[in-house]
Amino acid sequence: MFGRLSPQNSLVEDFWRLHQELDEVLGDGLSSLGAIRSSPRGTFPAINVTQTPAEMQVFVFAPGVDPKKLDVSIQQGLLTISGERQIPVQEQATYYRQERFGGEFRRAISLADEVDPERVDAIYRDGILRVRLQRREASRPRQIEIR
């Protein structure tokens, strides 16, 4: 699919070609979703971002987080979700491995211009925070009648 790398091609040309081929395969389907600021795999909390013609939704998977310790804000086109998950410490226990995240966290998602920052709601239930961001009426798809 990507062809062979050869000594005659410069590294820049190879990366440019890869970029163009990925654009052809993926299209711009991902570009209209909120851009998630770079995060390494395994970052807490995990998030999913979805969209419909009417809204964008961000699902934040944060089990064990007290909803009172969550903060959701929008500023300059950036949705920021921050909080803290406290893990009880067992005084007499020796940990051989501890994978559960505890402490403060922060995730940031760039919002598309068509999101209306005045029409946002957030609900935390069963360890999942759902943030719904409505699109501006003018940016919603609509059918135009031909006369």
The predicted structure's pLDDT at residue 36: 52
Q: What is the CA radius of gyration of the chain?
A: 21
54 shares a domain with 21: no
The predicted structure's pLDDT at residue 96: 84
| Structural domain that includes position 23 | 1-31
For the chain, the average pLDDT equals 81
The CATH number covering residue 54 comes to 2.60.40.790
The predicted structure's pLDDT at residue 27: 54
73 shares a domain with 12: no
The predicted structure's pLDDT at residue 39: 58
The predicted structure's pLDDT at residue 32: 45
Is the full-model pTM beyond 0.75? no
Contact 80, 56 (CB under 8 A): no
Choose the weakest-confidence range: 15-24, 44-53, 59-68, 78-87: 15-24
For residue 111, being part of any structural domain is answered with: yes
Nearest to 85 by CA among 113, 43, 52: 43
| 65-106 pLDDT tens trace | 999 999 999 998 899 999 998 888 888 888 888 888 888 999
What total of structural domains would you count in the chain? Answer: 2
